[in-house]
Amino acid sequence: MKGIAKIVSAVLCGLFITSCGLDNYDEPQSTLEGRVVYNNQPVCVRGTADAVQVQLYQDGYGNHDPIPVYVTQDGSFSAILFDGQYKLITRSGNGPWLSSTDTLTVNVNGYTTVDLPVTPYFTLTGENFSLNGNQVTGTATVTKVVETSSITSALLLVSKTAFVDEATYLARQEVTEVSEGNLSMSLDLTGNADAASAASLYARIGVKPAEADQYVYTPVVQIK
């Protein structure tokens, strides 16, 4: 019995030491902040529901699964990581840009910043929004980047918060006949109780490339 007691005691002691060792592992302390960019300008996307992500890989470890990093609506992203060398890549088939297997090597050390270049199917620039009475008007210039791409629809969205996308809005207008050049859209908020009671209103325009799973957007603009 004494022998068994010694064995049990040794096992428990080993478990305690192992548990303490696990609990004492350092947590990641370094910050990586970045932007998804085209021509040094951020590409704006849907920012809710973790809809758009980029991925990080780190060689030399047993787990080769990617670290998902979610892109916010202004095209930025951030992650808390251990110091080290990582490979940054877009997620295949995700985002309003061409899928690419190109990786960007990032050396994370303390606070690190990075721009991840992409090739969007379309860009939206020169956006302008106005609210006159109950009428919202939005304009933007649509530029085709990938010659073979086309647009399935365009959205003018209004929200009472600064989060605005195809799933987060209080009013929307959609058109399906969209081409390059000047895009002008309008939306009547008459009878919309949420809009009438909102202390603030925000708007943005998005276009959906036929080849992509996501809209590309203008920045969010406060109109009230």
**Segment 168-216, tens digit of pLDDT:** 999 999 999 999 999 999 999 999 999 999 999 999 999 999 999 999 9
Of the two residues 74 and 65, the one the predictor is more confident about is 74
The CATH T-level fold of domain 30-117 is Immunoglobulin-like (2.60.40)
Across 118-145, average pLDDT: 98
Residue 151 and residue 178 in contact, taking contact as beta carbons nearer than 8 Å: yes
- Give CA angle at 140 (137, 144), nearest 5°: 150
Domain boundaries, the chain: 30-117, 122-222
Contacts of 79 (CB under 8 A, 6+ apart): 31, 32, 56, 67, 69
Fold (CATH) for 122-222: Immunoglobulin-like (2.60.40)
**What pLDDT sits at residue 59?**
79
